[in-house]
């Protein structure tokens, strides 16, 4: 259920509604908007209804949330997209984020060099995988803890917040030491225990859409994180599997406006994994930015031909500044301004 408070509601009245929900075993998720506070009450609907909150001090109305995903639904924050703040960078609303970095952390030079390039070009956040989900168990699986250490060094030197993947809840503790945003890979979108654990950590999460997942499944996965009291979820479209074989995945650009209609959560687009080809990364990024994406996450490498993984899709670090400039212009078309520090 959704409890909409009056504009004049006091903090005590909000707290009283939260307490009363919790007394009947429902979890209350307040969302404090510019004008009104809305409280999502997740639990037994009958119990919440029996509280008779309609008419209670400060309460405007009590309405059911119609979608199966509750906290992720746009209904809970009417006309108010979530803006997530990461070390002074804003993601969502009128802000555009440029998240860039190598597919995987390979070495100190490669990681720090790329981080400097991203920073110099005005990037918002730095990405890089220490734990890599690879299709082949024989392929390079990432540097693990050593990779995290190099990411921490890049973060300390450039000041760029770090986005890195956690594939297994057993690695969460070390990942939390460096990750400003935890990436949940497409293959793990429906790993519910992992989602819940990341939810409990409270750390912002970038949730990638599974290659065969519907938007409703993506939003239900986001709900697993939100339900644990972590409101900081970024949705990421990274290409879906279709009958087309000319490129790796089909980037679902329609998902951008549709996710924004269904949810208040920011939408990030990954043009690199969708295309699998460097020459497609620029047009897809421009299209995503112009279509209203809240940011892109793109792979960049100083020497992609030597990259351990995803070489063919990584942008040359030398080309990144020009690329970033073009994407920033496309984002402006959609009314967004690059958020960097």
Residues that bind Mn ion (CB under 5 A): 103, 310
Between 223 and 270, name the residue whose CB sits nearer to ligand PEP.
270
The partner in contact with residue 238, picked from Mn ion, ligand PEP, none with C-beta cut-offs of 5 to 8 angstroms by kind, is ligand PEP
Residue nearest to Mn ion (CB): 103
Quickly list DSSP for 194-237.
HHHHHHHH---EEEEPPTT--HHHHHHHHHHHHTTT---EEEEE
**β pairing state of 205-208 and 233-237:** parallel
Is 234 one of the binding residues for ligand PEP (CB under 6 A)?
no
Among 77, 95, 203, 238, binds ligand PEP (CB under 6 A): 238
Between 82 and 117, name the residue whose CB sits nearer to Mn ion.
117
- Per the CB < 8 A criterion, the answer to whether 121 and 321 are in contact is yes
Between 100 and 103, name the residue whose CB sits nearer to Mn ion.
103
| Ordered strands of the 37-42 beta sheet | 27-32, 37-42, 2-5, 59-63
- Per the CB < 8 A criterion, the answer to whether 290 and 263 are in contact is no
Is 301 one of the binding residues for ligand PEP (CB under 6 A)?
no
Between 103 and 175, name the residue whose CB sits nearer to Mn ion.
103
Residue nearest to ligand PEP (CB): 185
Considering only residues 94 through 123, tell me which ones interact with ligand PEP, judged by CB under 6 A: 103
Binding piece for ligand PEP, criterion CB under 6 A, among 83-91, 113-121, 179-187, 251-259: 179-187
Is 144 one of the binding residues for ligand PEP (CB under 6 A)?
no
Residue 149: left (phi > 0), alpha (psi -120 to 50), or beta? alpha
Between 43 and 311, name the residue whose CB sits nearer to Mn ion.
311
Structure tokens given for 166: 């956690």
Say how far apart CA 298 and CA 275 lie, in whole Å: 11
**3-class DSSP assignment, residue 6:** coil
Say how far apart CA 106 and CA 129 lie, in whole Å: 9
Q: What is the smallest separation between the CB atom of 279 and ligand PEP, expressed in angstroms? A: 19
Q: What is the smallest separation between the CB atom of 270 and Mn ion, expressed in angstroms? A: 9
- Per the CB < 8 A criterion, the answer to whether 198 and 182 are in contact is yes
Q: What is the smallest separation between the CB atom of 129 and ligand PEP, expressed in angstroms? A: 5
Q: What is the smallest separation between the CB atom of 56 and ligand PEP, expressed in angstroms? A: 45
Q: Under the rule (CB under 6 A), what is the footprint of ligand PEP?
A: 103, 129, 133, 185-187, 208, 238, 270, 273
């Amino acid at each position: 259920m959704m409890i909409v408070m009056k504009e004049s509601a006091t903090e005590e009245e909000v707290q009283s509604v939260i307490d009363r929900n919790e007394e009947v075993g429902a979890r209350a998720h307040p969302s404090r908007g510019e004008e009104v506070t809305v409280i999502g009450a997740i639990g037994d609907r009958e119990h919440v209804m029996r509280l008779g909150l309609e008419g209670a001090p400060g309460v405007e109305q009590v309405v059911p949330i119609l979608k199966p995903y509750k906290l992720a639904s746009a209904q809970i924050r009417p006309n108010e997209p979530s803006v997530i703040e990461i070390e002074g960078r804003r993601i969502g609303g009128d802000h555009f984020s440029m998240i860039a970095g190598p597919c995987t952390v390979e070495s100190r030079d490669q990681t720090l060099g790329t981080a400097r390039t991203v920073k110099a070009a005005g990037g918002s956040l730095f990405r890089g995988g220490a734990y890599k989900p690879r299709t082949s168990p024989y392929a390079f699986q990432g540097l693990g803890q050593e990779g995290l250490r190099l990411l921490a060094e890049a973060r300390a030197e450039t000041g760029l917040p770090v986005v890195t993947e956690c594939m297994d809840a057993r690695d969460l503790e070390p990942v939390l030491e460096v990750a400003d945003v935890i990436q949940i890979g497409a293959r793990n979108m429906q790993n519910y225990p992992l989602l819940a654990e990341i939810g409990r950590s409270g750390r912002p999460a970038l949730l990638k859409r599974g290659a065969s997942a519907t938007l409703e499944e993506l939003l239900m996965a986001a709900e697993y994180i939100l339900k644990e009291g972590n409101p900081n979820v970024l949705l990421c479209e990274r290409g879906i599997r279709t009958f087309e074989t000319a490129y790796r995945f089909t980037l679902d650009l329609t998902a951008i406006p549709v996710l924004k209609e269904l949810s208040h959560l920011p939408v990030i687009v990954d043009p690199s994994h969708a295309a699998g080809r460097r020459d497609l990364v620029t047009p897809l990024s421009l299209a995503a930015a112009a279509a209203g994406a809240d940011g892109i996450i793109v792979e960049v490498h100083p020497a992609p031909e030597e990259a351990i993984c995803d070489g063919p899709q990584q942008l040359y670090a030398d080309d990144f500044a020009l690329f970033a400039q073009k994407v920033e212009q496309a984002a402006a078309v959609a009314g967004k301004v690059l958020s960097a520090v």
